[in-house]
Amino acid sequence: MTEHVTSLNLCNPFDDDKLHEECGVFGIYGHSEAAALAALGLHALQHRGQEAAGIVSHDGRHFHSHKAMGKVGDNFSSEDVIKSLKGDAAVGHNRYATTGGTVLRNVQPIFADLANGGLAVAHNGNLTNASTLRRQLVAEGSIFQSTMDTEVIIHLVANSKKIKVVDRIVDAMHKITGAYSLVALTSKKLVGMRDPFGVRPLVLGKLDGAYILTSESCALDIIGAEFIRDVEPGEVIVIDETGISSTSPYTNPQKRFCIFEHIYFARPDSVVENRSVYDVRKGIGRQLAIENPVEADAVIPVPDSGTPAAIGYAEQSGLPFELGIIRNHYVGRTFIEPTDQIRHLGVKLKHNANQALIKGKRVVLVDDSIVRGTTSTKIVQMVRDAGAAEVHMRIASPPTTHSCFYGVDTPSRQKLLAAQYDIDEMCKFIGADSLSFISLDGLYVAMGEKGRNAATPQYCDACFTGEYPIDLVDHDSGADNELTLLSES
Amino acid sequence: MTEHVTSLNLCNPFDDDKLHEECGVFGIYGHSEAAALAALGLHALQHRGQEAAGIVSHDGRHFHSHKAMGKVGDNFSSEDVIKSLKGDAAVGHNRYATTGGTVLRNVQPIFADLANGGLAVAHNGNLTNASTLRRQLVAEGSIFQSTMDTEVIIHLVANSKKIKVVDRIVDAMHKITGAYSLVALTSKKLVGMRDPFGVRPLVLGKLDGAYILTSESCALDIIGAEFIRDVEPGEVIVIDETGISSTSPYTNPQKRFCIFEHIYFARPDSVVENRSVYDVRKGIGRQLAIENPVEADAVIPVPDSGTPAAIGYAEQSGLPFELGIIRNHYVGRTFIEPTDQIRHLGVKLKHNANQALIKGKRVVLVDDSIVRGTTSTKIVQMVRDAGAAEVHMRIASPPTTHSCFYGVDTPSRQKLLAAQYDIDEMCKFIGADSLSFISLDGLYVAMGEKGRNAATPQYCDACFTGEYPIDLVDHDSGADNELTLLSES
Amino acid sequence: MTEHVTSLNLCNPFDDDKLHEECGVFGIYGHSEAAALAALGLHALQHRGQEAAGIVSHDGRHFHSHKAMGKVGDNFSSEDVIKSLKGDAAVGHNRYATTGGTVLRNVQPIFADLANGGLAVAHNGNLTNASTLRRQLVAEGSIFQSTMDTEVIIHLVANSKKIKVVDRIVDAMHKITGAYSLVALTSKKLVGMRDPFGVRPLVLGKLDGAYILTSESCALDIIGAEFIRDVEPGEVIVIDETGISSTSPYTNPQKRFCIFEHIYFARPDSVVENRSVYDVRKGIGRQLAIENPVEADAVIPVPDSGTPAAIGYAEQSGLPFELGIIRNHYVGRTFIEPTDQIRHLGVKLKHNANQALIKGKRVVLVDDSIVRGTTSTKIVQMVRDAGAAEVHMRIASPPTTHSCFYGVDTPSRQKLLAAQYDIDEMCKFIGADSLSFISLDGLYVAMGEKGRNAATPQYCDACFTGEYPIDLVDHDSGADNELTLLSES
Amino acid sequence: MTEHVTSLNLCNPFDDDKLHEECGVFGIYGHSEAAALAALGLHALQHRGQEAAGIVSHDGRHFHSHKAMGKVGDNFSSEDVIKSLKGDAAVGHNRYATTGGTVLRNVQPIFADLANGGLAVAHNGNLTNASTLRRQLVAEGSIFQSTMDTEVIIHLVANSKKIKVVDRIVDAMHKITGAYSLVALTSKKLVGMRDPFGVRPLVLGKLDGAYILTSESCALDIIGAEFIRDVEPGEVIVIDETGISSTSPYTNPQKRFCIFEHIYFARPDSVVENRSVYDVRKGIGRQLAIENPVEADAVIPVPDSGTPAAIGYAEQSGLPFELGIIRNHYVGRTFIEPTDQIRHLGVKLKHNANQALIKGKRVVLVDDSIVRGTTSTKIVQMVRDAGAAEVHMRIASPPTTHSCFYGVDTPSRQKLLAAQYDIDEMCKFIGADSLSFISLDGLYVAMGEKGRNAATPQYCDACFTGEYPIDLVDHDSGADNELTLLSES
């Protein structure tokens, strides 16, 4: 019954050297299969968080909750579980941990029994003033049950002097700073809202007359729901038995959607902020080929996230697209506690170079980004070991030079390869014959813009530029240090 | 990771037809093996609650917590667990559920991160105004994480306007009504307190200079600690690095110790409220023999709780003491989901009549109490089936006619056999040739009193008399209905 | 899915310093609830083996098997399991490991698909020529799947040139030497047999027209079956749809029933070889008091196995019988990997001295036997620590000086206290004021004999005398060393 | 401890409508990290069997075994397990069940303690006279512990009259008929052998002076071992401390390698029978485009097995290669017991059509084969639902019309779509606008042959032609019915 999680079920073979999206959310109101549909939606959003999942439903009288460490499919597919989550409305959440340790208490949705009824909240993003607010709340007598940002929101709602739950939620919104796309369930309403910069995604859909609020359109596809529109930055959507309504409590919301969602986080079959992710990635690959051509024999994607850009690169360059790196799909929780022998073999557990193909060839490797550079180094070496004549690395994003504070798990700046080295040094570090990144403007061009608007950039690109659109309250005040007094085993 | 518990590990073979003590507590301050000693103390108190256990320790800087469903020995004996519970101070708790479902969140000690530091509380007893207080607290913005009474205390402490933690605790004490013996741990102090009637036990002990507060003296014996004294009704004991201090915030505490602790709850090798439990039980058996003699061939205890009284009865009556009912010690979680065939065999899984002994004999069965009467009925039948010539049942307590609201799990009144029937009817119900109970005055005599002081009884005997010394606030106001909005699976 | 067992669920608190019975068996033929009844019978025989259990049933066409490490109640109580064990006939087995490691493959009943149909065998006892036979069989091409004696029998049956299964079994019997009470199930018959000395028990019972063969009568009591008689030494009983038949393939069987079954192994409510075990034990206590009286204040049983003899001793001596040692029933799998601190506390986890009773008293402790003496030493110390004025140890069996080779787990001779020391030295070793054992002749007298018949003793008492009635073939030829080539994890 | 497996961890999203390879084997001799390397090799061969895995090692004195249901990575990655598998030699096995139920006893390698020492065998393939041999062996007194073909081999070895183990193995080979590539470990030797038709693959490799025998070259790549050569049909290779030797006990072995290994079973990065699997598959795609061109806008692989052929098809046809179907990598043990709602959603759990890409396009879907046709039907429908203007299905193998009896799990003939319908009917069944298969001769051309040699085909292509090169002894004699007398739960 101990709650520690020893290992994550990562899926991308090089996932440990990637940035990580923190969460996926799903809410549905007015469907007799609410919990089953929420489970499916969360399954479609599994790439946004594999550590834990939870669903809270409401049946008109009671709330029902099930949370579990691990994947949605492993924990929410039995008839028993789905039947226990009664009712026509549900909110669910996939978790990838950043703030808060990996115990069941820290799995969302969070539920609280407030004076005028229950409230369940599921949240994707990160508050930048959570620590500051938490200290104030504790000083006033609030008792926290978790170490999650989301609980700050719940306490603000509980302490609001407003009467109606939605007014209390809006009240809370005015106190928090940060990136947040959240769905909340009361005994009568499903509420969705996005921060005023719209950093994290949230879309509205519909199925059999029931409304859905979720992180990406792929969670609508899996259940055959219709995509309606993106929720707007700063918009609050309320769904109840009278229908749907929208308010915008913020006066000047300004869209700064996370550009990395298009580069890596979102599923290629999702449409986010009106663009096909697959299409954008192929476009980036084409632009990358225009900016950084090279004479070579084959374009090889680093699986799986580099594949669409590699297809675009191959099309633009006229070079053949080839599967030069074969991925072992059976990694699962593989080799959790490897022996030293196994550990030294490293990345080979997860893939293999296609020697018969690579031998003697000049290859272009296409990947989406470089974070620490450890994986790129291993891949270049593996491809060389397989006999490549030349290895040219092409990256479908600009150099990642800054940490994210808006709900993405990034290493500290000093661990980002591009924060330490220039491109030549990086090329030497990873051992490639050449290394190029798409330019910042080129990236915007590939997104359909004329280029980056330096005054008010069209996207949040802080990880490439260090221009943070939202105040880093805790970080700047030094309040973001450890809050946990209790360690559980 | 689901938290439901399907079955309790009961130990007494007829435990499902007994009253149940709700909890055992243990606190220690100033010993380098604090958590290991707490685990042992809780093991010695396992009879007070087998459903779950928890320990919170403090190492001078941080608190550490481990909680688990199940027995102490199964969950707190590994070196890993004990080592994770660092520090010189610890509080622990054994749980038998009454209020609050069986989920890990409801396992004590409860911990909260208050404005001036952490607080862990472990509680034995039951508040009679918990629901009333909880509603007030929620209305003022408190968010509850459990359904336990104990959390009401924590929120009262969090919301107190006093500065020092001990003052806040005393502040909380003045708001609560009910039976409570609790131990609390802050980053600097171990606090113990008993309600002003001293209904539930709490004793003070010492080992190698470290003070201990725990429910029964047997938890001192197991670690070789010295028994010092009972904590007084309404007393607050504070232990810190400066030593031990005591205050009595209540003006007129009046001792009304639970008499059923002597009859059944406490371990026979404990000394509670200055009396050897074994000795008291033998004395009750002797008094029972004086009041209710019978011509017979053997005195047979209903194992194991009837044994000391049976020895006393045998000594007084001069009849031989015999093991006529053999208990199967291997019941464990036995036959959790029995087939119908097995279910019909009922009580036989847990014991067997010693046919060779019983055949043709007139036997006196001695048991500690009759609750619903279902078990007594089966035992009498089993002894008859084994060939007994006559079966005389003698009960070492007066008829149990009323429910307990002070921390004991009793069936509702209408299920208590003695609330429905007179003794003749009860005798017929259980199928015995004769049935007698010790008289109420006889019980007090066996306790060393001259008899019961009707004006201000020396003990709480509400289960026999209906005279409840502490106000039943929630019960009388109708506030004690369901609070849970959320059901977890 | 690894099969190691880390700990046994022992029940007797001092069990690790006792001899251990190796197994219990149960067979039933002709009852629609065969498997459920077998599960109950095995539950009643749990004291004969707690490590693992198995049941094989036959439904007229197929055999069905379920085996599991752990207790019967934990593994054979679900409706699913019982329903999967279809049919009107079943054999079952409780295992306490001696030969063969603790893997599931070594759990009985063993099943084999022979040329003329399936055969399942469950066995209590130990073959003394198993290693010798096994080597011969392997040399002839037999492949063993386990390291159990029982499999030798199966291979002998498989290789017999006889046609009928029963003839093959008898053929096998003539090749094996040792102690064995076994039940076997074919597609048409239930077979039971005892070795020609009848060392291990086997009784015949009947329920609703169905015959039962099992180790002790308590397994009949639990299901309300009628006891018919003991199976005779060397007798083969065959039960099929035509009824029951008996043959005696041995010319001169000579009864040498294990006397330790009466002293310790059998349940006190069982009747074995026509004597009530409880009655015998009380008689031994009385004889012990006659032979070894002492001036004292109380007779205290070492729980639980010393209790009947203590009652007898108290009756005979006129001293009061008192519960001076309280057992903690919650040991379970307790403290599997204790910390050093906990380990040093040793035996105290399992019981506590009743200090209030013992203080200042001269006490007689009654126990059934002394094996290594480690536990007796701890008990005497504990009773002294509780303030006893004098401690006199009385043992309800003669000194255990020799190992058993007939199905009882004994330490090697050099670890038996009585093989190393005389009684005075033993008394000093355990720290008692006096120590006495019942005499060998006294033991026979307590069994209703005039004394031990030295020429042909009425019982097997090799553990007290070293007179082994059955040849120790492997032991004497040195063949009993390690056979296992494969270690599994 | 029950051994049933409720679900397989399949990886290919449409795996339930594919043929399944039954097993992968790995043997290594003379390396200090033998077991760790075996675990890695089995991990690389996980696609050949995901149900269970086992490794047996030998340390010069003892054999050590670990077997587990589930994937290699989940069960063989801990240091504890690897350390327990001591020694310089090891054999391992991945299992996909066909004969024999899914209990741990049926997990290979099988070990037996023979008269001249231990023998462990791991086997890929299927004996076509196993039932016939088994009956003979049982009649002669052999006792089987499993229901696996492999055990027949072990018993034949045990009963051989030859002296040396290798001679006994060859003796056994002459009695068995069928497809088998096996590795065996004795206390002194590692033995590898292939059936005289070489149906299943087996390759020889070398690492640091240690020899390796394994199913595919990808198991050499993962540990950086050198590929030496394929083991020849009918060849027996013996490796011991004196080096490596080879014999060919069959007079006229004739190579008939399974052509489906190239089409689907083997990993694309493996080189089998001297050909790169990836290269062969691309070549098949090209040939398919030559034989069956179509006007369209995009070539879309059915992931993941159709991808190499789709790349070849796109190259040859000049049409763009696009990712039109996105696979959800998180299926794992997903939705084991789905609710009806979830079940009806079917294949959508595992992938999603890339709507933004497909809408309005004429698409060519490329898949490796059609078995039952159920998956193809769903995929075509899904692509149509996504808005495709036309859907043309191209299959990279001829119609699968016959079952395999040589170690591949095929449905019975009547369930094979191509055994029931002609191509037009199949096209209608799956709902495509057109459907074409590569021709049988075209397949051979793509393999580098001039065409199929009808007299003595270069490969076993019985699944396309019904020409079975090896006698179907059990099948033709009707001996292949149920052997299991015992069902275990």
> Sign of torsion, CA A466 A468 A472 A477?
positive
Q: Is some CB atom of chain A closer than 8 A to the CB atom of B68?
A: yes
- Minimal CA–CA distance to C179: which of C139, C215, C135? C215
Each residue of B131-174: pLDDT tens digit? 999 999 999 999 998 888 889 999 999 999 999 989 999 999 99
Residue C482 pLDDT: 54
Q: Is some CB atom of chain B closer than 8 A to the CB atom of C276?
A: yes
d(CA A218, CA A227): 9
Tokens of B226: 């010295």
Interface of A with B in 48-67 (CB under 8 A): 56, 62-67
Q: Given a cut of 70, is residue B295 above it in pLDDT?
A: yes
d(CA B157, CA B145): 15
Q: Cβ–Cβ contacts within 10 Å for residue B427, how many?
A: 19
Q: Give DSSP secondary structure letters for A170-197.
A: HHHHTT--EEEEEEEEESS-EEEEE-TT
Put simply, the answer to whether B334 touches C71 (Cβ < 8 Å) is yes
Put simply, the answer to whether B9 touches C330 (Cβ < 8 Å) is yes
- Minimal CA–CA distance to A148: which of A199, A186, A97, A194? A97
Residue C340 pLDDT: 60
Contact D352, D394 (CB under 8 A): no
Q: Is some CB atom of chain C closer than 8 A to the CB atom of D6?
A: no
Nearest to D143 among C3, C80, C112 (CB): C112
- Tell me which chain C residues have a C-beta less than 8 angstroms from the C-beta of B333: 73-74
Each residue of C449-486: pLDDT tens digit? 999 999 999 999 999 999 999 999 998 888 765 556 77
- Tell me which chain C residues have a C-beta less than 8 angstroms from the C-beta of D141: 115, 141-142, 155, 158-159
In chain C, which residue's Cα lies nearest the Cα of D65?
C488
Interface of D with C in 94-123 (CB under 8 A): 104-105, 111-115, 117-118
- Tell me which chain B residues have a C-beta less than 8 angstroms from the C-beta of A64: 486-489
The answer, yes or no, to whether D and C have at least 3 beta-carbon pairs within 8 Å is yes
Residue D10 pLDDT: 28
Residue of A3, A65, A135, A143 to mutate, interface with B, max B Cβ within 10 Å? A143
Cross-strand pairs, D178: D127
Nearest to C323 among B74, B278, B331 (CB): B278
Q: Given a cut of 70, is residue D2 above it in pLDDT?
A: no
Do strands D362-367 and D298-301 pair parallel, antiparallel, or not at all (unpaired)? Answer: parallel
- In three-state secondary structure terms, A58 is strand
> Cα A360 to chain center, whole Å?
39
Put simply, the answer to whether A329 touches D356 (Cβ < 8 Å) is no
Q: Is some CB atom of chain B closer than 8 A to the CB atom of A81?
A: yes
Put simply, the answer to whether C321 touches B307 (Cβ < 8 Å) is no
Residue B158 pLDDT: 95
- In three-state secondary structure terms, B263 is helix
Q: In what order do the strands lie in the sheet with C390-395?
A: C298-301, C362-367, C390-395, C434-437
d(CA B237, CA B248): 9
pTM to 2 decimal places: 0.87
Q: How far is D116 from chain C (nearest CA, A)?
A: 8
Q: Which chains share 3+ C-beta pairs under 8 angstroms with C?
A: B, D
Q: Given a cut of 50, is residue C7 above it in pLDDT?
A: no
- Minimal CA–CA distance to D375: which of D11, D12, D14, D19? D14
| Choice between A79 and B416, residue whose per-residue pLDDT is larger | B416
Placement of tokens 């915008």 in the chain: A248
Q: Given a cut of 90, is residue D338 above it in pLDDT?
A: no
| Choice between B207 and D148, residue whose per-residue pLDDT is larger | B207
| Binding residue ranges of B | 258, 305, 367-368, 404, 460, 463
Tokens of D396: 């990279």
- Tell me which chain B residues have a C-beta less than 8 angstroms from the C-beta of A80: 489
Q: Is some CB atom of chain A closer than 8 A to the CB atom of D79?
A: yes
Cα-based distances in Å from B41 to A438, B71, B160: 66, 13, 32
Each residue of B420-459: pLDDT tens digit? 999 999 999 999 999 999 999 999 999 999 999 999 999 9
Each residue of A211-247: pLDDT tens digit? 999 999 999 999 999 999 999 999 999 999 999 999 9
% of chain C with per-residue pLDDT over 70: 90
Nearest to C321 among B279, B321, B336 (CB): B321
Q: Which chains share 3+ C-beta pairs under 8 angstroms with D?
A: A, C
Q: Is some CB atom of chain D closer than 8 A to the CB atom of C5?
A: no
Contact B44, B76 (CB under 8 A): no
pLDDT band (50, 70, 90) for residue C11: very low
Q: Given a cut of 50, is residue D238 above it in pLDDT?
A: yes
Most confident of A267-276, C103-112, C426-435: C426-435
Residue C107 pLDDT: 86
Residue D411 pLDDT: 84
d(CA C130, CA C148): 9
The interface predicted TM-score (ipTM) is 0.90
Contacts of C463 (CB under 8 A, 6+ apart): C19, C260, C400, C401, C402, C403, C404, C408, C410
Put simply, the answer to whether C356 touches B276 (Cβ < 8 Å) is yes
The single-letter code of the amino acid at A24 is G
Q: Among A180-189, B323-332, C333-342, D205-214, which stretch is predicted with the lowest mean pLDDT?
A: C333-342
Each residue of B358-371: pLDDT tens digit? 999 999 999 999 99
End-to-end CA distance of chain B: 9
List of domains in chain B:
15-255 (3.60.20.10), 276-330+341-456 (3.40.50.2020)
Each residue of B208-218: pLDDT tens digit? 999 999 999 99
Q: Given a cut of 90, is residue A433 above it in pLDDT?
A: yes
Q: Among A96-110, B11-25, D255-269, D332-346, which stretch is predicted with the lowest mean pLDDT?
A: D332-346
Most confident of C104-108, D119-123, D302-306, D342-346: D119-123
The single-letter code of the amino acid at B106 is N
In chain B, which residue's Cα lies nearest the Cα of A486?
B63
pLDDT band (50, 70, 90) for residue A188: very high
Residue D70 pLDDT: 86
Q: Given a cut of 80, is residue A338 above it in pLDDT?
A: no
Put simply, the answer to whether A43 touches D222 (Cβ < 8 Å) is no
Tokens of B195: 């309600």
Q: Among A248-252, C82-86, D317-321, which stretch is predicted with the lowest mean pLDDT?
A: A248-252
Residue D331 pLDDT: 62
Q: How far is D203 from chain C (nearest CA, A)?
A: 28
Q: What is the mean pLDDT of residues C212-233?
A: 96
% of chain C with per-residue pLDDT over 90: 75
| Binding residue ranges of D | 258, 305, 367-368, 404, 460, 463
Each residue of A373-404: pLDDT tens digit? 988 999 999 999 999 999 999 999 999 999 99
pLDDT band (50, 70, 90) for residue A422: very high
Q: How far is C115 from chain B (nearest CA, A)?
A: 35
| Average pLDDT value over all residues in chain D | 89
Tokens of B233: 């009704």
- Looking at chain C, how many residues does it have? 489
Residue B10 pLDDT: 28
Residue D12 pLDDT: 40
Q: Cβ–Cβ contacts within 10 Å for residue D476, how many?
A: 11
In chain B, which residue's Cα lies nearest the Cα of C308?
B323
DSSP D32: T
Each residue of A287-319: pLDDT tens digit? 999 999 999 999 999 988 899 999 999 999 999
Residue A90 pLDDT: 98
The single-letter code of the amino acid at C88 is D
Q: What is the mean pLDDT of residues A116-122?
A: 93
In chain D, which residue's Cα lies nearest the Cα of C489?
D66
**DSSP alpha helices (H): ranges in C34-164?**
34-44, 72-75, 79-84, 130-139, 149-159
Residue A217 pLDDT: 96
Tokens of B468: 């409840």
| Binding residue ranges of D for Mg(2+) | 305, 367-368
pLDDT band (50, 70, 90) for residue A487: confident
Q: Given a cut of 50, is residue A335 above it in pLDDT?
A: no
Put simply, the answer to whether C349 touches B40 (Cβ < 8 Å) is yes
| B290-293 long-range Cβ contacts below 8 angstroms, 24+ apart | B290/B316, B290/B442, B291/B436, B291/B438, B291/B439, B291/B442, B292/B394, B292/B436, B292/B437, B292/B438, B293/B317
pLDDT band (50, 70, 90) for residue D482: low
Q: Given a cut of 80, is residue D339 above it in pLDDT?
A: no
C58: enclosing H helix or E strand: strand C52-58
Q: Is some CB atom of chain A closer than 8 A to the CB atom of D74?
A: yes
Q: Give DSSP secondary structure letters for B302-357.
A: -TTTTHHHHHHHHHHHTPPB---EEE-TT-TTTTSS--HHHHHHGGGGTEEE-HHH
Q: Given a cut of 50, is residue C338 above it in pLDDT?
A: no
Q: How far is B154 from chain A (nearest CA, A)?
A: 9
Contact D109, D120 (CB under 8 A): yes
How many Cα atoms within 13 Å fall on the side-chain side of residue B337?
Answer: 8
In chain A, which residue's Cα lies nearest the Cα of B487?
A64
Q: Cβ–Cβ contacts within 10 Å for residue C414, how many?
A: 8
Tokens of C332: 């379970």
Phi, psi (rounded to 5 degrees) for D222: -60, -30
